[in-house]
Chains A and B, each alone.
Chain A
Amino acid sequence: MAAPLSVEVEFGGGAELLFNGIKKHQVTLPGQEEPWDIRSLLVWIKKNLLKERPELFIQGDSVRPGILVLVNDADWELLGELDYQLQDQDSILFISTLHGG
Chain B
Amino acid sequence: RELKCVKCKEGQPVVVIRAGDAFCRDCFRAFYVHKFRAVLGKNRLIFPGEKVLLAWSGGPSSSSMVWQVLEGLSRDSAKRLRFVPGVVYVDEGAACGRSPADRAHTVAEMRLLLQAVGFPWHVVTLEEVFSLPPSVLRCFPQEPVGAVGTYKVAVDSYLQQQHALGPERAGGSPIPAQEGERAGQPCSHDPRGLAGPQPAAQTEALSQLFGSVKTLTAKEELLHTLRTHLILHVARTHGYSKVMTGDSCTRLAIKLMTSLALGRGAFLAWDTGFSDERHGDVVVVRPMRDHTLKEVAFYNRLFAVPSVLAPAMDTRAPEKASIHRLMEGFLLRLQVQFPSTVSTVYRTSEKLVKAPRDGRATGPRCLLCLCALDIDASDSATAFGAQTLDFSQTQPPTPRAEAGSPTEVGSAQDCCQGAGPCRRDDPRARVMEQLCYSCRANMKDVPSFDLLPPYILAEAQLRSQSRASQDIQECLVEDS
Stretch at the interface among B13-21, B151-159, B198-206, B461-469: B13-21
Least CB distance from B329 to A in Å reads 8
**B298 and A68 form a contact (CB under 8 A):** yes
Contact B316 A13 (CB under 8 A): no
Q: Name B296-351 residues within 8 Å CB distance of A.
A: 296-298, 301-302, 309, 311-312, 314-316, 318-319, 328-329, 332-333, 335-336
Complex CA distance for A14 and B16, rounded to whole angstroms: 22
| CB closest residue in chain A, given B25 | A73
CA distance A29 to B296 in the complex (A): 31
User: CA of A88 to CA of B309 in the docked complex: distance in angstroms?
Assistant: 31
- Which chain B residues (271-315) contact chain A, with CB distance < 8 Å? 288, 293-294, 296-298, 301-302, 309, 311-312, 314-315
**Quick one: which of A53, A73, A95 contacts B14, CB cutoff 8 A?**
A73
Partner of A65, one of B13, B62, B315, B335: B335
Q: How far is the CB of B223 from chain A (nearest CB, A)?
A: 11
CB < 8 Å neighbour of A17 from B247, B311, B333, B336: B311
Q: Within 8 Å of chain A (Cβ to Cβ): is B60?
A: yes
When chains A and B are docked, how far (Å) is the Cα of A74 from the Cα of B16? 9
Q: How far is the CA of A52 from the CA of B296 in the complex (A)?
A: 27
Q: Is the CB of A14 within 8 A of B309?
A: yes
Q: Is the CB of B336 within 8 A of A65?
A: yes
Q: Find out whether the CB atom of B3 lies under 8 angstroms from the CB atom of A101.
A: no
Which one of A12, A14, A97 contacts B315 once the chains associate, using CB atoms below 8 Å? A14
Q: Which residues of B contact A18 (CB under 8 A)?
A: 316
- Tell me, in angstroms, the Cα distance from A52 to B317 when the chains sit together: 12
Chain B CB within 8 A of A38 CB: no
Which residues of A are found within 8 Å of B438, using beta-carbon distances? none
Tell whether, in the assembled complex, residue A65 and residue B333 are in contact, meaning their CB atoms are under 8 Å apart. yes
Chain A 57-77 interface 0/1 with B at a Cβ cutoff of 8 Å (1 = within)? 000000001101010011101
In the bound complex, residues from chain A placing their C-beta under 8 Å from that of B59 are 99-101
Whether B301 and A93, one on each chain, are in contact in the complex, defined by CB atoms closer than 8 angstroms, is: yes
Q: How far apart are A65's CB and chain B's nearest CB, in angstroms?
A: 4
Q: Report chain A residues within 8 Å CB of B309.
A: 13-14, 99
In chain B between 455 and 474, which residues have their CB closer than 8 angstroms to a CB of chain A?
none
Q: Report the contact-size class of chain B (Cβ under 8 Å from the partner).
A: 35 or more
Q: Is the CB of A101 within 8 A of B251?
A: yes
Other-chain residue from A13, A68, A73 in contact with B302 (beta carbon distance below 8 A):
A73
How many angstroms between the C-alpha atoms of A55 and B311 in the bound complex?
Answer: 18
What residues of chain A lie closer than 8 Å to B62, measured between beta carbons? Answer: 101
Identify the closest chain A residue to B12 (Cβ): A74
Q: B246 interface residue, CB < 8 Å from A?
A: yes
Docked-complex contact A101 and B315, CB < 8 angstroms: no
Number of A-B contacts (CB under 8 A): 80
Residue from A13, A55, A70, A75 within 8 A of B60 (CB atoms): A13
State whether B15 touches A101 (Cβ < 8 A).
no
Q: Could you tell me how many residues of chain A have their Cβ less than 8 Å away from some Cβ of chain B?
A: 25
Question: Does A101 contact B22, Cβ atoms closer than 8 Å?
Answer: no
- Indicate if the CB atoms of A65 and B14 lie closer than 8 Å: no
Query: Does the CB pair A75–B57 fall under 8 Å?
Result: no
Contacting A at CB under 8 A, from B250-265, are: 250-251
Taking CB atoms and an 8 Å cut-off, the chain B residues in 234-257 that contact chain A are 246-248, 250-251
Nearest residue (CB) in A for B56 is A101
Query: In the complex, are the beta carbons of B248 and A75 less than 8 A apart?
Result: no
Q: Give, as a whole number of angstroms, the nearest-CB distance from B95 to chain A.
A: 13
Interface string of A80-101 (1 = CB under 8 A from B): 0000000000000101011111
Which one of B14, B15, B312, B316 contacts A56 once the chains associate, using CB atoms below 8 Å? B316
Interchain CB contact under 8 A, B301 and A53: no
Q: Is the C-beta of A78 less than 8 angstroms from some C-beta in chain B?
A: yes
User: Is B131 located at the chain interface by the 8 A CB criterion?
Assistant: no
- In chain B, what residue has the closest Cβ to A65? B332
Give the distance in Å from the alpha carbon of A55 to the alpha carbon of B316 in the complex. Answer: 10
A92 CB → nearest B CB, Å: 13
Which residues of the partner chain B approach A100 to less than 8 Å between Cβ atoms?
57, 59, 61, 312
Task: Report 30 cross-chain contacts, Cβ distance below 8 Å, ordered by A residue.
Answer: A13-B60, A13-B297, A13-B309, A14-B309, A55-B318, A56-B316, A65-B332, A66-B332, A68-B294, A68-B297, A68-B298, A70-B298, A70-B301, A73-B301, A75-B13, A75-B16, A75-B298, A78-B3, A78-B15, A95-B297, A97-B60, A97-B293, A99-B59, A99-B309, A100-B61, A100-B312, A101-B57, A101-B61, A101-B247, A101-B248
Residues of B within 8 A of A (CB): 3, 13-16, 22, 57, 59-62, 246-248, 250-251, 288, 293-294, 296-298, 301-302, 309, 311-312, 314-316, 318-319, 328-329, 332-333, 335-336
